[in-house]
Amino acid sequence: MFSKQLFKTYLKTNILGQKIIYKNKTSSTNTDAKEYLYNKNFHGSIFVSDSQYNGRGRRGSSWESTPDKSLTFSLLLHPEIKLKNIGLIPLVIGIGIVKGILISTSISAGLKWPNDIFLNNKKIGGILIETKQINNYISLVIGIGLNINEQINDISENIIKKTTSLSIHASKTFSRELILANILDEFEILFNSNLNSIIDIWESYCIHQNKNVTFHSKEEIHTGTFKGISENGYAKIEIDNNLKKFPSGMIIL
Q: Which 153-212 residues touch ligand BTN, going by CB under 6 A?
A: none
Reply yes or no: is the peptide bond before residue 114 cis, omega within 30 of 0: yes
Rounded CA gap, 10 and 220, in Å?
43
Residue 3, CA distances (Å) to 70, 177, 178, 180 in order: 14, 7, 10, 11
> Site for ligand BTN (CB under 6 A): which residue of 144, 201, 229, 235?
144
Strand partners, 23: 49
Instruction: Please identify, using beta-carbon distances, which residue of 52 and 105 lies nearer to ligand BTN.
Output: 52
Instruction: Please identify, using beta-carbon distances, which residue of 59 and 84 lies nearer to ligand BTN.
Output: 59
248 is a contact residue toward ligand BTN (CB under 6 A): no
Rounded CA gap, 61 and 145, in Å?
13
Residue 41 burial (CB count, 10 A): 9
Instruction: Please identify, using beta-carbon distances, which residue of 71 and 190 lies nearer to ligand BTN.
Output: 71
Bridging pattern class, strands 110-112 and 212-217: unpaired
Instruction: Please identify, using beta-carbon distances, which residue of 87 and 238 lies nearer to ligand BTN.
Output: 87
What secondary structure letter does DSSP report for 42?
A: G
> Site for ligand BTN (CB under 6 A): which residue of 17, 100, 143, 233?
143
Instruction: Please identify, using beta-carbon distances, which residue of 55 and 233 lies nearer to ligand BTN.
Output: 55
H or E element in which residue 47 lies = strand 46-49
Q: Which 11-70 residues touch ligand BTN, going by CB under 6 A?
A: 28-30, 52, 55-58, 61, 63
- Among 178, 180, 202, which Cα is nearest to 190's? 202
Query: Binding string to ligand BTN for residues 67 to 96, with x set by CB under 6 A, is what?
Result: -----xxx----------------------
Q: Which residues bind ligand BTN (CB under 6 A)?
A: 28-30, 52, 55-58, 61, 63, 72-74, 116, 126-128, 143-145
